Amino acid sequence: MPDISDLMQIAPLVALAAVALLVIVVDLMVPARMARGTILVTAAGGLLVVGWYLLDLWSQVVPLPEFAARALAPFGGALALDGLSFAASALILAAAFFAVLLSTTEQARDMSGYVSLMLLAALGMMVLAGTSDLMVMFVALEVLSLSLYVLVAFRRGDAKAREGAFKYFLLGSVAAGLLLYGFALLYGVTGATKLAGIAAFARQGTIGPLYHAGFALVVIGFGFKLALAPFHTWAPDAYQGAPAPVTAFMAIGTKAAAFVALARFVWAAVPSDPVLAAAYLTPIGVLAGVSMLVGSLGALFQTNLKRLLAYSGVAHAGYLFLPLMSLTPEAFGQSLFYLFAYLCMAGGAFAVLVARSVEAGGDAGAAADAAELSGWRGLYQRRPGLALATALFFLAMAGMPPTAGFTGKLFLITGGIEARAWWLLAAMVASTGISAYVYLRVAGSVFRSPEAEAAAVAEMGPVPGAHLSGSHPAGAVGIVAGTAPSPLAWERVAVGAVLLLAVAGILLLGLFPNLLLPGLQGLLPVR
Amino acid sequence: MPGMAVQGYLVLSVVLFVIGLAGVLVRRSPLVMLMSIELMWGAAGLLFLTFARLWAGMEGHIFSFLIIVVGAAEAAIGLALIVLIFRTRDAADVDDVRALRG
């Protein structure tokens, strides 16, 4: 039976749900003039409180003897409170915090609904990463998916947003159907909806075709959510249609939560028989390898930054699986470390995108223009700081030292070598080579001389909005009051804070990986 | 004793699931696709109930209730998106929805 200690153990989740509701109440209580700011401050402050609860709880339960056995399971085992769920929750909260800060530039008409849905999606992600029960996993997955379907379509009157949301919804629902059917088959074979029961069956039971089918369907279902190729087709459209903060949140949060849940599932459900285990892991490896190649090849010809980051996200999702091929606790730490690195790299890249759309005017059309890479040329001459940050984020994605992208890839490759997944390593090297071209092209284009751009602008004639600050000579020192439709200063402070945090994270994790890595290893028990 | 009956439900569930999946893949009307998705979810719910009977446990029953509840929410959002997207244009077919490519 649930008792008070169970409730205390899920304090961060309860607090997050409360903040999501509080945001709506706040919208009703404060005058409309101040509503936007109050909502965003409430959400950001609420996320900090939730993070504080999380860290406090973490430090409280670590010394407990039952936590040492990694078996703190409130609500009769419906939730799994272990180091893995804490680490993943911290990652998801950080992504949500980034997204809320970036949302200060968002001109949504229903701001409280927007922020509330974002927080609810974060709640779904945290539960998804922290459960070992198929039922809770399904509900959490749907909480986050349903919130994101709506968020992608949130820009009113934007046909691209609606189309992206519709495609995301259609493929997401089919994926949920496949996942459910897989869960049902596994329940039928094992008689358990808890991963512990499935793991016990996988060690001792006779594995039949129904079990194979169930496992395959679950992996495919998660593959859709993680945007693994060939189930990635929704990602570029949904990423392009969604507002940039939502895209950032989807890219980081969903990837982390779905990857952790899939890893937990694979951990439990892969049979202990080595031949069968290889037969179960090889298709997952093939999915990962295909994702790496499709992601990096697809990114080659993109002119839109959001689509480019979507394809790069497909490739990055593939990289995560490299250490998982050996199913050791150390290997999982390497994947988690890369997720933290990806948080900084992708969060930073999307923050640059948001900063550019603020610069260009802040409305939906300007935001769409800011995502087009052709407008990024000569950014260094106008905004040197922003251009240097852009270069850092894309160099990190390409895996250049001394960034987190380099150390992260190094750990992944170490994990791959330990797992002896040679062909997957080959795919990763090929994919890294191809995508290095993509990322370096972006990083290089911001340093191109503005003369080329000026010529292009002159050719095209005066374009309102998109090139406003570019063609303005005073743009070099930032936006002079009056040239842009005066975005509030604190919006720029918020975006700048995200940029600074991302840069600091990339450099810190790149130079001192031991700050984080030891804490991430051994989070799952030895199989 | 319940072996025969369980087998019948299993077959029915698989048939429903395949019909649903084929409907999503083949049909091009968004409403029919949504109905096909619901069919897939329903097939999974039926499978859970079947296995709940086989194992004489409650998990399958609870799970199928969750599927119904979440499925209703899913359908509500899906219908809202369909209305949103097809009210503003004359498309009645998902192949017409193709502004985003690449």
Put simply, the answer to whether B51 touches A177 (Cβ < 8 Å) is no
- A250-264 pLDDT, tens digit each: 999 999 999 999 999
- Residues in A closer than 8 angstroms to B98, CB to CB, are 163
Q: Is the dihedral of CA A187, A192, A194, A195 positive or negative?
A: negative
Average pLDDT of the residues in A227-236? 92
Put simply, the answer to whether A138 touches B41 (Cβ < 8 Å) is no
Average pLDDT of the residues in A97-108? 89
User: CA-to-CA distance for A291 and A313, rounded, in angstroms?
Assistant: 9
How far apart, in Å, are the Cα atoms of A44 and each of A20, A28, A180, A378?
Answer: 11, 18, 34, 34
Tokens encoding A55: 């860290």
Burial A476-492 (b: 16+ CB within 10 A, else e): eeebeeeebeebeeebb
Average pLDDT of the residues in A203-230? 92
Given a cut of 70, is residue A437 above it in pLDDT? yes
Put simply, the answer to whether A150 touches B66 (Cβ < 8 Å) is no
Report yes or no: B16 at the A interface, CB cutoff 8 Å: no
Helix (H, G, I), strand (E, B) or coil at B98: coil
Minimum mean pLDDT range among A341-350, A368-377, B43-52: A368-377
Q: In chain A, what percentage of residues exceed pLDDT 90?
A: 57
Tokens encoding A301: 């010809």
Q: Report the helix count and the strand count for chain B, using DSSP H and E.
A: 3, 0
Average pLDDT of the residues in A41-67? 88
Tokens encoding A218: 């679950």
- Residues in B closer than 8 angstroms to A170, CB to CB, are 24, 30, 33, 37, 94
Of A492, A356, A498, A355, nearest to A47 by C-alpha is A498
Minimum mean pLDDT range among A12-26, A184-198, A376-390, B55-69: A376-390
Put simply, the answer to whether B81 touches A169 (Cβ < 8 Å) is yes
CB pairs under 8 A between A and B: 115
- A452-500 pLDDT, tens digit each: 555 555 555 444 444 444 333 333 333 333 344 445 678 888 999 999 9
- A262-307 pLDDT, tens digit each: 999 998 999 888 888 889 999 999 999 999 999 999 999 888 999 9
DSSP assigned state of A239: H
A contact test, residue of B53, B61, B66, B85 with most A CBs within 10 A: B85
Given a cut of 70, is residue B3 above it in pLDDT? no
B contact test, residue of A146, A181, A308 with most B CBs within 10 A: A181
Q: Compute the nearest-CA separation of A193 from chain B (Å).
A: 7
Q: What is the pTM of this model?
A: 0.90
**The 3-state secondary structure of A78-99, one letter per residue:** CECECHHHHHHHHHHHHHHHHH
- Residues in B closer than 8 angstroms to A160, CB to CB, are 99-100
Average pLDDT of the residues in B59-77? 94
The answer to whether A271 and A277 are in contact (CB under 8 A) is: yes
Task: Give the pLDDT of residue A205.
Answer: 78
List Cβ neighbours of A58 (8 Å cut-off, separation of 6 or more).
A86
- Residues in A closer than 8 angstroms to B51, CB to CB, are 184, 187-188, 191
User: CA-to-CA distance for B34 and B79, rounded, in angstroms?
Assistant: 8
A contact test, residue of B17, B34, B59, B68 with most A CBs within 10 A: B59
Residue ranges with strand state E in A167-289: none
The answer to whether A344 and A404 are in contact (CB under 8 A) is: yes
Put simply, the answer to whether A307 touches B102 (Cβ < 8 Å) is yes
The complex scores an ipTM of: 0.90
Average pLDDT of the residues in A299-323? 92
Helix (H, G, I), strand (E, B) or coil at A304: strand
- Residues in B closer than 8 angstroms to A180, CB to CB, are 40-41, 44-45, 67
Given a cut of 60, is residue A95 above it in pLDDT? yes
- CA-nearest residue to A217 within chain B is B44
- B10-66 pLDDT, tens digit each: 999 999 999 999 999 998 888 999 999 999 999 999 999 999 988 888 899 999 999
Q: Is the dihedral of CA A27, A32, A36, A42 positive or negative?
A: negative
The answer to whether B59 and B52 are in contact (CB under 8 A) is: yes
Given a cut of 50, is residue A109 above it in pLDDT? yes
